[in-house]
């Protein structure tokens, strides 16, 4: 069973030996390995049960190391990196030849970010290599935002979990690439950095956060981010299949009058979307533990981090939709 602690030197030693270590970031916990060690990379795919076509994110120390890994950087994306790194932004750029193909799943591009969490920053400063890290959850499941979430699902397969407390952002990073035809940035995954914040720096963006069998970011399959119980976006739909006492809810600020109060999880009593984002994934896990059959999670306002929250809720509910169709 994995040890949970805060020893970056122990984490460093394990990573140097090609072992996996779970690391805290400001978005979600990552399952990290030496990004230049293909055997360690292969182990990430194995532990996560992640298909090899789904590439990993490269985590680097600081913005000025970007040219070591990518061929060129459009000026607007450089501006985004300077403005938002360290932070919940991932950039997809043309990779240099020494970036392992296993990391990028054979794509000519690599996804890169500079994480903001102080423990992981301190760890990266100690290392002579960057870290590859997907979210530290089994493929298709909700991302972990606390060390105990990682321990519960992957603890048996890991030696060490670096505990940085609950993640401050709580949603995965926003992924931005470049659209060659329209010559502008393109959002490939909505996440912990809002469109409004990005557009204030980069001007209008394309958003291609599609979910299909061949999504723009290969990990963006519909039916992702799903907890172990059915999720419904609407109470009336849930009530067609279950009785009120069989349901839990996850709501922004107001409980649903029709359901027992002890089964309702409130994300932010004052209706703050950043607070709701912080708590969302823990709430999905908590709701799964309650003595209920299914979860009702109504969409939140579609602005700021609300867009990414709604994206995750729609994906969590998609499995349901297909089961009852």
Summarize as ranges the residues that interact with ligand TXA (CB under 6 A): 25, 27-28, 30, 54-57, 90, 92, 104, 107, 109-111, 115, 133-135, 172-173, 175, 188-189, 217-220
Report the residue number, 149 or 189, with the smaller CB distance to ligand TXA: 189
- Return the CA Rg of the chain: 19
56 binds, among Mg ion, ligand TXA, none (CB under 5 to 8 A by kind): ligand TXA
Separation CA 29–CA 134 (nearest Å):
8
CB of 25 to ligand TXA, least distance (A): 5
Per partner kind, with CB cut-offs from 5 to 8 A, the member of ligand TXA, Mg ion, none near residue 90 is: ligand TXA
Q: Helix or strand or coil: residue 4?
A: strand
Which of 18, 49, 45 has the alpha carbon at shortest distance from 34?
18
Tokens 């680097």 belong to residue? 60
Q: How far apart are CA 102 and CA 43, in angstroms?
A: 11
Q: Closer to ligand TXA at the Cβ: 2 or 248?
A: 2
Minimal distance in Å, beta carbon 242 to Mg ion? 29
Instruction: Return the number of the residue (104 or 222) whose C-beta is nearest ligand TXA.
Output: 104
Phi and psi at residue 128, to the nearest 5°: -100, 5
Evaluate whether 28 touches 180 at the Cβ level (below 8 Å): no
State which of positions 121-180 bind Mg ion (CB under 5 A): 135
Q: How far apart are the C-alpha atoms of 59 and 290, rounded to whole Å? A: 36
Binding mask 76-115 for Mg ion (x = CB under 5 A): ----------------------------------------
Residues near Mg ion (CB under 5 A) are 135
């Amino acid at each position: 069973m994995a040890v949970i602690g805060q020893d970056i030197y122990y984490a460093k030693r394990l990573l140097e030996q090609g072992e996996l270590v779970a690391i805290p970031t400001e978005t979600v916990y990552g399952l990290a390995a030496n990004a230049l060690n293909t055997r360690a990379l292969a182990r990430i795919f194995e532990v996560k049960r992640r298909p090899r076509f789904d590439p990993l994110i490269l985590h680097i120390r600081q913005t000025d190391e970007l040219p070591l890994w990518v061929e060129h950087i459009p000026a607007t994306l450089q501006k985004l990196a300077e403005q938002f790194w360290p932070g919940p932004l991932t950039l997809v750029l043309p990779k240099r030849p020494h970036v392992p193909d296993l990391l990028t799943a054979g794509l000519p591009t690599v996804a890169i970010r500079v994480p903001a969490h102080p423990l992981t920053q301190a760890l990266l400063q100690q290392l002579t290599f960057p870290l590859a890290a997907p979210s530290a959850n089994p493929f298709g499941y909700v991302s972990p935002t606390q060390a105990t979430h990682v321990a519960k699902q992957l603890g048996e397969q890991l030696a060490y979990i670096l505990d940085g407390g609950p993640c401050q952002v709580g949603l995965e990073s926003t992924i931005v690439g470049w659209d060659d035809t329209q010559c502008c940035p393109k959002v490939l995954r909505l996440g912990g950095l809002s469109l409004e914040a990005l557009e204030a720096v980069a001007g209008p963006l394309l958003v291609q956060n599609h979910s299909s069998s061949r999504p723009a970011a290969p990990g963006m399959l519909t039916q992702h981010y799903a907890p172990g119980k059915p999720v419904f976006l609407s109470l009336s739909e849930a009530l067609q299949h279950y009785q009120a006492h069989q349901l839990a809810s996850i709501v922004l600020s107001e409980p649903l009058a029709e359901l027992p109060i002890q089964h309702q999880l409130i994300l932010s009593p004052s209706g703050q979307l950043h607070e709701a984002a912080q708590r969302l994934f823990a709430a999905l896990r908590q709701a799964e533990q309650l003595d209920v059959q299914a979860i009702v999670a109504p969409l939140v306002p579609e602005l700021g981090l609300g867009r990414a929250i709604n994206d995750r809720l729609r994906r969590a509910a998609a499995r349901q939709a297909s089961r009852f169709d």
